[in-house]
Structure 1
Amino acid sequence: MSIPRVKLPPTNGSSYILPQLEGEIFTIPGFKSVFRMFTSQAQTNNGMAVFAWDGVKNDTAPFHHHKYAHDIFLVAEGSMLCWNGDECRLLGPGDFASVPPGTIHKPYPQGPVTKAIDLITPGDWVNFFRHVSDKFEGLIFPEWDDRQQGMFPNLVGNWEEAFDVFAHPDHVGCPVSDWSEKDEVLPDGEVPYFLKANKGPRWLLGGVMSRPFMTTVQSGGRSAISIIESSNAYTSSVFHQKLAFSAHHCLVVFDGELEVSIDDGEPSVVRPGEVCFFPAKVPFRLGFASKYVRFWSFASGNGIESLVGEAGQRYPGQALPDHAQAWDDEKLKEACQKLKITRL
């Protein structure tokens, strides 16, 4: 059985593929943008929510913080000003911001069209979006929505605690800073940070490269995010075998064709703009069906990127090598045991 293609994330615990621009789609009145939910608490046992945020320049999101939720912003297109604690950066494509609990922050899309893919843990935080938003039935996003509702419309009672959103209407953001060398390394712990595109660490396992934005070290064990790259020029891959992870995976394809299959089913092809979701403990295979394949991997714990980092080696280059490097099968076995990954 191949993985089904659906327009809405199912709630029956199954794997699925979302075609481009599909998902559970909301718009906050006046935001001139949409949130396209790829996966949330119903699919991940509250482990994470992953969603696209697409729209034009808009300054309606206020300064706020979350007491429990960890927020990330990862720009795919356009630009975004992001205040993150006592620092601010102008994020471009591939730039990343990690906002742990308790950090006052504010995202401000700069356009002309900004597309970001964001993750937040726990996954049920996005119930706030569901509460203050309207379902979106249009094509791309509501560019001409001039309603003045704001982000906190008609909320009564103890809504800040209920939705884990604490507003700071009088907060004054710091000036925008230039990128620096500290934005090229992953910190050792769950602290606010930025990571410049393609400046962070790179790991290689055979012919599969991982460029992590965040590991479980930076997320308090709750999530991990990485760019994964490979090619059909390589004859073998660790991911040609069935692997069952203890984390849920949401894969967003940007380049090439990715072949995915679960259990002993027929492979399905995931193309640029499409999303594939694997629940935890479901064995899956990955096939890289184009000369160059690139996807962003979002996991609710130690996932694909953790295996590449643990079983592979640091890689000094920026581009995939012409020939896949040999991997140490004993090291791979030890990594799977450590990360609770089952090889089938």
Structure 2
Amino acid sequence: MAISIHTLRPEWRKSYEACHVEIPRKDDAVYVDCSVKLISQKLTIRYLAFDSPEEVINLQHHPEAYTAYIVCSGHFKFWNGNTCRHLQGGDFAFIPPGTTYGYQPLAPNSELLRFKTLEDQTDLLQAMRQFHSNCFSSHPGQREVASVDAKVTCVPGSCRLPDLTCFSETENTIPIIVEPYFLRLPVSPRWIFGGVMTRPCVKATHCEGKFSISAMETSDAHRVQPFLNRWLSFTRVDHCFCVVEGTFKIKFRGHVEWTLIRGGQAITVPARQGFTVDVGSGFLRLVTITNGTGIDELICKAGYQCASLTLPETVSCWDGWDEVRFISACSEVGALLG
């Protein structure tokens, strides 16, 4: 049978083998990992939508949490440590702990996806409380624990912030050291294998192995070779697939029916869960989030760096299937084939 869909706004759901959810809308959070035994290593996904430009700047500071943003649409002025950039659809920002950052929407219908680890005491205790009560019991304006985060708003000119500057050429690649950075995903380095193109946003090595994020795309013209007629599972890593555009088909070992994940929905896949996937639309774009080295790194290791900014019309010879290379990559990332 297919996985039932759940709407999390923002209740902590009970544990599932796999969790199929709607991406929560403005100021609601979905806790990606639905296993209570891993509650200290959770990640939240939050969707932020702004109907109109805002005069205020939202400044934040997380002493212990890693944070990342992907611009889904619109335009933002974004401050990240000592740098300020103009971000638009497809741009990415990574914020390590202890970095002051902020953003200001500049256009109507501007949207962000935010990813944040639950390292802060406030987030962790709130998540545990929500899991046990299965409801959001706090009243507006009240908190049961003191926040260690700093969140302030200011208007331009009332506080000293870095000046807006243009993207540099070095901001098209992930830096070697752990530091705040921006990426322009449409022109960032990309790898392709078996008709799947992936653009790494942040690797697990940049955040103490806590998570990695990649933007992926494929189409029904490209046969998704890694999954054809076989099962794939990861021994140590959980996955979350967030669909941005198109329809993502996934089937779990032991299930007969496919589960369809459409734009604005996500599905979590726990470690050791066997699964296979396919494309259910003409074109598919999704964001993958893992709590370690996962499917994005598998594609990078098995595949080849791609010069084209877009998917080729057909799978060319340099993206041809190499079973030996694929099996070797699976071994490196802890993936099992069945």
Q: TM tier, shorter chain?
A: 0.7 to 0.9
Distance in structure 2 (CA, Å) of the matches to 1:171 and 1:40: 35
Distance 1:301 1:333, change over 3 A: same
- Tell me which residue corresponds to 2:163: 175
Once the two structures are overlaid, the 10-residue window that deviates more, 5-14 or 39-48, is 39-48
TM-score (norm 1): 0.81
Distance in structure 2 (CA, Å) of the matches to 1:283 and 1:201: 29
- Tell me which residue corresponds to 1:37: 29
User: Deviation of residue 129 (structure 1)?
Assistant: 11
Distance in structure 1 (CA, Å) of the matches to 2:150 and 2:21: 32
User: Deviation of residue 167 (structure 1)?
Assistant: 5.4
Deviation by residue 1:23-49 (Cα, 9 ceiling, x = unmatched)? 4x6xxxxxxxx2232334644643322
Matching residue within 213, 233, 253 for 1:244? 233
SS in structure 1 opposite 2:78? strand
Distance in structure 2 (CA, Å) of the matches to 1:59 and 1:237: 48
Aligned positions of 1:267-306 closer than 5 A: 267-306=258-297
- Tell me which residue corresponds to 1:256: 246
Amino acid at match of 2:13: P
Structure 1 gap segments, 5+ residues each:
26-33, 136-148
Distance in structure 2 (CA, Å) of the matches to 1:41 and 1:264: 21
- Tell me which residue corresponds to 1:17: 20
Whichever structure has more strand as a proportion of its residues is 2
Once the two structures are overlaid, the 10-residue window that deviates more, 80-89 or 59-68, is 59-68
User: Deviation of residue 305 (structure 1)?
Assistant: 0.9
- Tell me which residue corresponds to 2:149: 165
Q: Is the 8 A contact 1:38 1:49 kept in 2?
A: yes
User: Deviation of residue 99 (structure 1)?
Assistant: 0.4
Distance in structure 2 (CA, Å) of the matches to 1:125 and 1:275: 26
- Work out whether 1:92 is the aligned partner of 2:88: yes
Aligned positions of 1:1-344 closer than 5 A: 1-8=1-8, 10-19=13-22, 23=24, 34-40=26-32, 42-43=34-35, 45=39, 46-56=41-51, 57-58=53-54, 62-122=58-118, 127=123, 159=146, 163-166=147-150, 172-240=160-228, 241-245=230-234, 246-265=236-255, 266-324=257-315, 325-344=319-338
Q: Is the 8 A contact 1:257 1:290 kept in 2?
A: yes
User: Deviation of residue 10 (structure 1)?
Assistant: 2.9
Distance in structure 1 (CA, Å) of the matches to 2:50 and 2:61: 22
Structure 2 gap segments, 5+ residues each:
128-134
Q: Is the 8 A contact 1:54 1:114 kept in 2?
A: yes
Q: Is the 8 A contact 1:186 1:218 kept in 2?
A: no
Distance in structure 1 (CA, Å) of the matches to 2:100 and 2:159: 9
SS in structure 1 opposite 2:227? helix
Distance in structure 2 (CA, Å) of the matches to 1:173 and 1:197: 25
User: Deviation of residue 125 (structure 1)?
Assistant: 6.6
User: Deviation of residue 219 (structure 1)?
Assistant: 2.6
Q: Is the 8 A contact 1:63 1:171 kept in 2?
A: no
Distance in structure 2 (CA, Å) of the matches to 1:190 and 1:74: 18
Once the two structures are overlaid, the 10-residue window that deviates more, 220-229 or 45-54, is 45-54
User: Deviation of residue 288 (structure 1)?
Assistant: 1.1
- Tell me which residue corresponds to 1:139: none
User: Deviation of residue 112 (structure 1)?
Assistant: 1.2
Distance in structure 2 (CA, Å) of the matches to 1:10 and 1:125: 20
Distance in structure 2 (CA, Å) of the matches to 1:125 and 1:80: 29
Distance in structure 2 (CA, Å) of the matches to 1:83 and 1:326: 42
SS in structure 1 opposite 2:27? strand
User: Deviation of residue 59 (structure 1)?
Assistant: 5.5
Distance 1:177 1:129, change over 3 A: farther
Count of paired positions: 311
Once the two structures are overlaid, the 10-residue window that deviates more, 202-211 or 240-249, is 240-249
Distance in structure 2 (CA, Å) of the matches to 1:239 and 1:37: 31
Deviation by residue 1:299-335 (Cα, 9 ceiling, x = unmatched)? 1111221111111111111121233222322222221
Distance in structure 1 (CA, Å) of the matches to 2:115 and 2:30: 10
Amino acid at match of 2:276: R
Distance in structure 2 (CA, Å) of the matches to 1:155 and 1:13: 28
Q: Is the 8 A contact 1:3 1:17 kept in 2?
A: yes
Q: Is the 8 A contact 2:64 2:120 kept in 1?
A: no
Distance 1:63 1:235, change over 3 A: closer
Amino acid at match of 2:79: W
Q: Is the 8 A contact 1:205 1:312 kept in 2?
A: yes
Q: Is the 8 A contact 2:199 2:216 kept in 1?
A: yes
